[in-house]
Amino acid sequence: MKTGDVLPPLEIPITRTLIVAGAIASRDYQDVHHDPELARQKGSPDIFMNILTTNGLVGRYITDHFGPRTVLTKVAIRLGAPNYPGDTMVLTGTVEALEGATATVRIVGTNRIGHHVTGTVTFSLKDAEGTPNEHTRA
């Protein structure tokens, strides 16, 4: 891995079930994440994904790519365009910094409206004994 490396994109279909299940799993019971009629009454065309679900999907993107010994140390994201049912979010990443066994990847997640999520994920790569390993390759 080196600075500037581009991770392969990950396409995530945004289903009604994913949105509701993510809200329930993160104990976010706001009606805009599970009740289409109440979401419309509040000005949204439909229910939309919460930030905690997005945060989990961003973490999954990194750990799926770099493997099970990846330890996330900082996830700093900002939401933009909502993820609605029927969207597909495409996550992309670029290695922004490397220092020993620690790396930072810039993340962008887009949907049909625009950028849903932007930010960075900092993580370390550990060897089988749990020791930081700057030679671990993705």
**pLDDT tens-digit series, residues 87-103:** 999 999 999 999 988 99
pLDDT digits (tens, 9 = 90+) for 98-135: 998 899 999 999 999 999 999 999 999 876 555 556 54
**Model pLDDT for residues 68-82, shown as the tens digit of each residue:** 899 999 999 999 999
pLDDT band at 136 (very low <50, low <70, confident <90, very high): very low
Read off the amino acid at residue 49.
Answer: M
Write phi, then psi, for 86 (nearest 5 degrees). 95, -15
Please tell me whether the overall predicted TM-score, pTM, comes out greater than 0.75 for this model.
yes
- Residue from 38, 29, 128, 48 nearest 87 by CA: 48
C-alpha distance from residue 37 to each of 5, 43, 44, 61, 122 (Å)? 44, 10, 9, 32, 38
pLDDT in the model for residue 125: 85
Q: pLDDT tens-digit profile of 18-57?
A: 999 999 999 988 898 999 999 999 999 999 999 999 999 9
Q: Which two tokens stand for residue 78?
A: 């900002």
Task: Please determine, for residue 137, whether its predicted confidence score (pLDDT) is greater than 60.
Answer: no
